[in-house]
Amino acid sequence: MFSLIADESTDRGCVKHLCLLARFFKAKVDDAFLCLIPLEEATSEKLYEHVKNVFSDNNIPMDNMIGFASDGAYAMMGQHYSLSSRLVAANPNLFILKCVCHSFHQCASYACLKLSREPETLIRDIYNYFSNSPKRIGILKEFQ
């Protein structure tokens, strides 16, 4: 028995990927990387197809999945026509968990709208000044 953790992201080359992890209990809770799938389309139908293919290619019974977790993107967690709704249709007892980190991020972002923008702008400018310059990073390390 395991839970599936899924997230999609876009790399610097603008290629979307679907990352799948399995969380299971074997003397302790552990995570295992299943795969990283390049995506041409990130629709819920295509995501579900990819998940089913990974399971069938690796002889993993979908009935062994007891939970699903992901961010709050509509393709992942929408009430209708999402990856989670398709997984629940295939396995009605599936436990669904929306990632609280994304919810915390949204709360923090909303709270920051009430603050002055100057500190955030300063911090972003400092980061951008150093982030892509090995020479500047070296000077900062020497200064520190």
Give residue-wise pLDDT tens across range 109-118: 888 888 888 8
| Residue type for position 67 | G
E strand or H helix at 118: helix 118-131
Q: How confident is the model at residue 89 (pLDDT cuts 50, 70, 90)?
A: very high
Instruction: Please give the pLDDT value at position 11.
Output: 64
* Residue 133: strand, helix, or coil: coil
Segment 25-82, tens digit of pLDDT = 988 999 999 999 998 888 889 999 999 999 999 999 989 999 999 988 888 888 888 9
CA-based nearest residue to 2, from 24, 26, 27: 24
| Residue type for position 34 | L
Give the angle subtended at the CA of 99 by the CAs of 89 and 104, to the nearest 5°: 145
**CATH architecture for segment(s) 2-105:** 2-Layer Sandwich (3.30)
Residue 67: how many CA atoms within 13 Å on its side-chain side?
14
Which residues share a beta bridge with 36?
A: 19
Residues 6+ apart with CB under 8 A from 120: 112
Percentage above 70 pLDDT, the chain? 97
pTM of the model: 0.67
Domain ranges for the chain: 2-105, 116-143
Which residues share a beta bridge with 52?
A: none
